[in-house]
Amino acid sequence: MTSTVNLGAPITIAALGKQFPSEQGPVTAVAGLDLEIAAGEFIAVVGASGCGKSTVLRMLAGFESPTSGRLEVGGAPVRGPGPDRGVVFQDYGLFPWLTVQENVAYGPRQTGASRRDAAARAARYIELVGLTRVANRFPQQLSGGMQQRVAIARVLCNEPAVLLMDEPFGALDALTRGSLQRELERIHRETGTTTLFVTHSVEEAVYLADRVVVMSGGISHGTAGHVQAVVPVQLDRPRDVNDAAFTDHRRRISALIEH
């Protein structure tokens, strides 16, 4: 695989806050959240349901605006969605009327690439996620795992500096999930894209991340969502989930998550 390298962008999150209106007045979902992410870093975000993980990701994606604080990608303030940030959610969000190839080539076409260039780029990313043989099929002809691979290829084909993933493997069976984790690890190594990955699986977080961010709080806890701890994972890759050091990280992080 050649020429898939794109430099990731650093991310600055400073004193970030988000309030939502409610019938009882505004409620604070996130407050005082600070995080510096280096270019090319892989960050996993874990924390109890409702602590604000998706809200933070949506603000980074530019789908929601912060109520307070600072949010910068590549040194520039986030003002809305942009091609520098690719977003992958749990539901694949593919265009059902387009083939795999057309889904993946869609982004480059939108940003003005010629049909030929877009096709060449799409072919490269389809290969990167191992779907060359099904490039001419439609999404509904593929398994969930394959559709999620298409979603990842489609986002990567825009060559974003930042990849934002919100429980992307949450709907997949364990076997498919494992193989996509290994694939994502390889893709991250090959592209150097700064990645923020929200997951409910501590094992997945420890497997993938350079650092695991543990969030806590949230409206239902009567406090605002914030960073509770940041745990570096300095284990050699590919990681062995049965390794003692791996298990130790997993235990420590699980103990930090409030239930």
Ligand X SMILES: Nc1ncnc2c1ncn2[C@@H]1O[C@H](COP(=O)(O)OP(=O)(O)OP(=O)(O)O)[C@@H](O)[C@H]1O
Of the residues 17, 31, 33, 53, which one makes contact with ligand X according to CB under 6 A: 53
Of the residues 163, 218, 233, 249, which one makes contact with ligand X according to CB under 6 A: 218
Of the residues 220, 229, 238, 251, which one makes contact with ligand X according to CB under 6 A: 220
Which listed range, 50-58, 67-75, 152-160, 248-256, lies at the site for ligand X (CB under 6 A)? 50-58
Of residues 211 and 239, the one with the C-beta less far from ligand X: 211
Q: How far is CA 155 from the centre of its chain?
A: 11
In the bound complex, what is the minimum distance in angstroms from residue 90's beta carbon to ligand X? Answer: 9
Of residues 47 and 86, the one with the C-beta less far from ligand X: 47
Tell me the C-alpha distance between 174 and 223, whole Å.
Answer: 34
Of residues 153 and 209, the one with the C-beta less far from ligand X: 209
In the bound complex, what is the minimum distance in angstroms from residue 115's beta carbon to Mg ion? Answer: 37
Placement of tokens 């069976």 in the chain: 173
Closest to 41 measured CA to CA, from 162, 181, 195, 190: 195
Of the residues 29, 31, 153, 165, which one makes contact with ligand X according to CB under 6 A: 29
Closest to 40 measured CA to CA, from 71, 5, 79, 15: 5
Of residues 56 and 119, the one with the C-beta less far from Mg ion: 56
Residue 221 found at the interface with ligand X (CB under 6 A): no
In the bound complex, what is the minimum distance in angstroms from residue 73's beta carbon to ligand X? Answer: 19
In the bound complex, what is the minimum distance in angstroms from residue 27's beta carbon to ligand X? Answer: 7
Distances (CA, A) of 121 to 136, 158, 160, 178, 232: 15, 9, 13, 26, 34
Tell me the C-alpha distance between 100 and 140, whole Å.
Answer: 10
Please say whether the beta carbons of 219 and 50 come within 8 A.
Answer: yes
DSSP string, 155-182: HHTT--SEEEEESTTTTS-HHHHHHHHH
Helix, strand, coil fractions of the chain, as percent rounded to 5: 35, 25, 40
In the bound complex, what is the minimum distance in angstroms from residue 51's beta carbon to ligand X? Answer: 4
Which listed range, 88-96, 170-178, 217-225, 249-257, lies at the site for ligand X (CB under 6 A)? 217-225
Task: List residues bridging with 238 in a β-sheet.
Answer: none
Residue 219 found at the interface with ligand X (CB under 6 A): yes
Residue 31 found at the interface with ligand X (CB under 6 A): no
Query: Total number of residues binding ligand X (CB under 6 A)?
Result: 13
41: its two tokens: 């870093």
Residues at the contact surface with ligand X, assessed by CB under 6 A:
20, 29, 47, 49-55, 218-220
